[in-house]
Amino acid sequence: MARPSIVPIALTLDDRTGYTLWAPPWEEDGEEWQAFLGTTEDDVAKVHLFPTPAALAAFCRRSTDHDLADHPVWPVVVGLGAADLTPDDDHRFDLDGVYDIAAESPDRWAVEELAATVDIVSRLAECLDTGGDDDEDDDETQFEAVAELAAKPEIGSLGLGVDAFVGRSGENAWVGVGSVLDDLWEDVVEELDDHFDWTGAGSATLEDYPSAAGAEDVDTDDVGGGRGDDMVLVDDEEQAGSTAGAPVRTIARGGRISASPSEVAKAGAFWEAVGILPVEVVVPEGAGVTLRCYVEDVARFLGRNGEVFVFDTPEALARFCRGTEDHDLMEIASWPEVADTDVPPLPADQDRYDLTELSEVLSEVADGAAGLVDHQAFAQPVEGVRDLAEYAGLARVDALLSPTSALGKAVARGEAEPRAVLRAEDAATLRGEWDQVVTQISGALVFRD
């Protein structure tokens, strides 16, 4: 992440959904920090949870006695309303639903949701653990079950994505994940619940929390319209001159297509079923949406002769799909269903690849934002680039991402150590190589009407 940020999140436990804020890792005075909205009293750290985004917003406006009060972005958060503090789907973590997810087939959605839930649990434990603060033994922790869970290789395999659960060995690995959760998850949530403040810092009671099943209705009624951004990110100049309620620039654009999470999820059920997924690609020349599937684990796009057809809008893409022009997806068995459907091709967040955003981030690191961006920034754009380069036969991209290149080494480190920060002295070189990658990919895209 290019600058310090604060992210609204929702946690569901014991059929209650609470809203709070998370500040992902940022660097200040040469040290890395991470925090949740909460306080520590009598050596017990607590996360404040609120029954609605509106209650969370009200607390932010009136209180400065908490762990985020000194965060660089907090002056902006104070002026935000309920709509701005409503989490998107990627920042809602259902601790009650872990067993149900593990019981499903290990598709990309189940694997990613389970990995995200385990990740946020580990981050909570890291921030809430005060067990070793005054002890010589740095390994002592108040969250033994969380530490044991995170150390299990079966849980570590979630970070490898859905490919780790393909085939017979993958099925066995998924069963192993479920077994670990059966053994440890109840202890994990018990440890965490001791540190969850369901009173909203004294502003709420348990009766104020709707059941988790009704939480979505509360969100809709409570917040009204809003930007829908999932992160609050502020330029240094903007922070210095900002006033409550002033516009906030986001680096994480979230794509160019306007659709609600519910619309995307509803459409996604069809596209997952046919095995062909909508994809958005953003390059300097523009943003476009296309289709991608995998044939024997090899990426294949809507296109022909190594050229990828991209369209300005899902509607334009849908019109093309109903036509008769030859392309490489016509051979796919499910293509007649695609050509005949009225379901709009809306890309999910994980299928949106903004190649220009990484260029901007690398420039900002080179200009002095070192320590605020970690190597996981490469993960999603590189995933899209590899697929596009494979389909288009872009040998130069393969070379730029090879293990011996500076960019390839940075990508490999991102896979091994996603939280390792980028250094300013490396960013300029990486930006140059990444720009070459983007140029190659741009040349393979054909923007269609």
User: Which of the pair, 26 or 183, is modelled with greater confidence?
Assistant: 183
pLDDT tens profile 272-330: 999 999 999 999 989 999 999 999 889 999 999 999 999 999 999 999 999 999 999 99
Q: Is there a contact between 304 and 313 (Cβ–Cβ < 8 Å)?
A: no
Asked whether residue 138 carries a pLDDT value surpassing 80, the answer given is no
User: Model confidence at 445, in pLDDT bands (50, 70, 90)?
Assistant: very high
pLDDT recorded at residue 133: 52
Q: Mean pLDDT across the stretch 426-449?
A: 93
User: Cα–Cα distance between 9 and 89 in angstroms, integer?
Assistant: 9
pLDDT recorded at residue 256: 56
Q: Is there a contact between 59 and 50 (Cβ–Cβ < 8 Å)?
A: yes
Exposure on the CB side of residue 18, measured as CA atoms within 13 A: 25
pLDDT recorded at residue 105: 86
pLDDT tens profile 204-259: 888 888 776 655 544 433 433 333 333 444 333 333 333 333 222 222 333 456 77
Q: Is there a contact between 165 and 172 (Cβ–Cβ < 8 Å)?
A: no
- Token pair for 182: 């059966």
pLDDT recorded at residue 369: 63
Looking up tokens 């992160």, which residue turns up? 231
* DSSP 8-state symbol, 34: E
Exposure on the CB side of residue 391, measured as CA atoms within 13 A: 29
- Token pair for 318: 């849908």
Q: Is there a contact between 386 and 283 (Cβ–Cβ < 8 Å)?
A: no
Q: Mean pLDDT across the stretch 18-34?
A: 84
Asked whether residue 145 carries a pLDDT value surpassing 90, the answer given is yes
pLDDT recorded at residue 249: 23
- Token pair for 159: 């970070």
Asked whether residue 165 carries a pLDDT value surpassing 50, the answer given is yes
Highest mean pLDDT among 27-36, 42-51, 231-240, 385-394: 385-394
User: Cα–Cα distance between 363 and 356 in angstroms, integer?
Assistant: 11
Q: Is there a contact between 379 and 295 (Cβ–Cβ < 8 Å)?
A: no
- Token pair for 321: 């799909």
pLDDT tens profile 372-396: 677 888 999 999 999 999 999 999 9
User: Cα–Cα distance between 407 and 399 in angstroms, integer?
Assistant: 10
User: Cα–Cα distance between 204 and 18 in angstroms, integer?
Assistant: 11
Q: Mean pLDDT across the stretch 8-27?
A: 91
**H/E stretch holding 179:** helix 167-193
Q: Is there a contact between 89 and 11 (Cβ–Cβ < 8 Å)?
A: no
Asked whether residue 184 carries a pLDDT value surpassing 80, the answer given is yes
pLDDT tens profile 89-101: 889 999 999 999 9
Q: What is the pTM of this model?
A: 0.53
Least confident of 27-36, 134-143, 321-330, 368-377: 134-143
Q: Mean pLDDT across the stretch 77-92?
A: 88
431 three-class SS: helix
pLDDT recorded at residue 372: 61
User: Model confidence at 42, in pLDDT bands (50, 70, 90)?
Assistant: confident
User: Which of the pair, 143 or 372, is modelled with greater confidence?
Assistant: 143
Domain positions in the chain are 5-241, 255-449
User: Model confidence at 356, in pLDDT bands (50, 70, 90)?
Assistant: very high
- Measured from the Cβ of residue 140, the count of other Cβ atoms closer than 10 Å reads 12
User: Model confidence at 123, in pLDDT bands (50, 70, 90)?
Assistant: very high
User: Model confidence at 342, in pLDDT bands (50, 70, 90)?
Assistant: very high
Which residues are bridge partners to 388 per DSSP? none
User: Cα–Cα distance between 98 and 117 in angstroms, integer?
Assistant: 8
User: Model confidence at 3, in pLDDT bands (50, 70, 90)?
Assistant: low
pLDDT recorded at residue 213: 62
User: Model confidence at 10, in pLDDT bands (50, 70, 90)?
Assistant: very high
User: Model confidence at 398, in pLDDT bands (50, 70, 90)?
Assistant: very high
